[in-house]
Amino acid sequence: MSLTRLIALLAALTLALVPVACGGDGDGGGGGGASGASAADVLKRAGKNTAKSADVKLELEASLKGADDLEGPVKFSLEGPYRSNGAKTLPDLDWRMHAEGDGQKFDARLITTSDNAWVEYEGKTYEVGEQLVSQLTTQLKSQPSNPQQLGSLDLEGWFKDPEVEDAEAGGVPTHRVSGDVDVRKVLESVDKVMQKSAPSGQAAPRLTPQMIDEIAEAVTKAHVSTDVGRDDGIMRRNSMELSFEVPEGRRASAKGLEGGDVKLLFEQSDVNGDQRVKAPANAAPIQELLRALGIPPQLLGPGVTPQMPG
């Protein structure tokens, strides 16, 4: 098992655990908290109630032990407002992103509206353009809706004896569901949903039994905690802690990696507030950024010419 593959598999598990805390159909089990709510009830409610707008914050940190080609922790953060413009349409958002690891740092900003998008990099703003965004959203809208999405994951058996308690997140009274997660059952369930969600005639990505075995063997801890608003049933805070150890016999092929810890935190505040996003002016075409990064602009498609703001 190579270092790259192990990190990719653990990243897949991290993403898979997000819907565990955000909710879905099925029975999560667990007893009631101070107000009598069960884990299953709280998670089902969170799966049916989503924020139309919010100020979001995401923090991810990974500390790897023994990796020959990586020094220090890897960190990623994202923060900014969000407002939905409906299904299969770009939302209004303005997110500032920061990443650092192995002595390097990266900062960027992503801004979108229903009909355009911009990227800010190294102090300069680049416009994706209404033409390209229109093409992308048209393709998205042409795809049939499929009810077998992550929100329909069966949570039964995922948690190991989850606990429910009354708590608070960002000044909002919440039900907090927390517990250890059965990694193998999570990934098996996610794989089933991916197969059912694949468009007709197309092969879906697979989490093979070998991949699932490798992750389950490596992961020593997977703990999830989520806060759901008591009044509105909307998720306010979701955290995850994951630890893993590489079997001694596989460390050589993993470039000396012995194990590590991954922490994820996602928060929503000022839920359904008056979040607004202002489109930037005087942006350069996105092709300039692509050329600077060594990416052929032709990948955007033929005839794409972003409109410049007047």
- What is the reported pLDDT for 189? 80
199-236 pLDDT, tens digit each: 666 777 788 888 888 888 889 999 989 899 999 999 99
pLDDT value at residue 22: 41
Per-residue model confidence as pLDDT tens digits over 24-44: 333 334 444 445 678 888 888
| 214, 186 Cβ separation under 8 angstroms | no
Contact at 8 Å (CB) between 299 and 136?
no
Q: Per-residue DSSP letters for 182-198?
A: -HHHHHHHHHHHHHHHS
Mean pLDDT, residues 284-310 taken together? 72
Q: With 50 as the cut, is the pLDDT of residue 150 above it?
A: no
- Position 145 scores a pLDDT of 57
Cβ(183)–Cβ(241) below 8 Å? no
Cα–Cα dist 60/74, whole Å: 8
Q: Is the pLDDT of residue 122 over 80?
A: yes
C-beta separation of 273 from 55 below 8 A: yes
Look at residue 61 and tell me whether its pLDDT is greater than 80: yes
Q: In this prediction, what percent of the chain has a pLDDT beyond 90?
A: 42
Can you tell me the mean pLDDT for 53-74?
85
Give the residue extent of every domain in the chain.
Answer: 3-295
Q: What is the mean pLDDT of residues 173-201?
A: 82
Distance CA 40, CA 25 (A): 8
- pLDDT tens profile 77-113: 999 999 999 888 899 999 999 999 878 889 999 999 9
**For residue 154, what pLDDT is reported?**
54
d(CA 135, CA 288): 20
Read off the pLDDT of residues 244-278 as tens digits, 9 standing for 90 and up: 998 888 788 777 888 899 999 999 999 999 999 99
Three-state secondary-structure class, residue 38: coil
Task: Record the tokens describing residue 233, joined without a space.
Answer: 């049933």
| Cα pseudo-dihedral 22, 28, 31, 32, rounded to 10 | 40
> What local confidence, expressed as pLDDT, does residue 184 receive?
87
Characterize the bridge pairing of strands 124-127 and 284-285.
Answer: parallel
Type of residue found at 51: A
CA distance 92 to 288: 24
pTM tops 0.95, yes or no: no
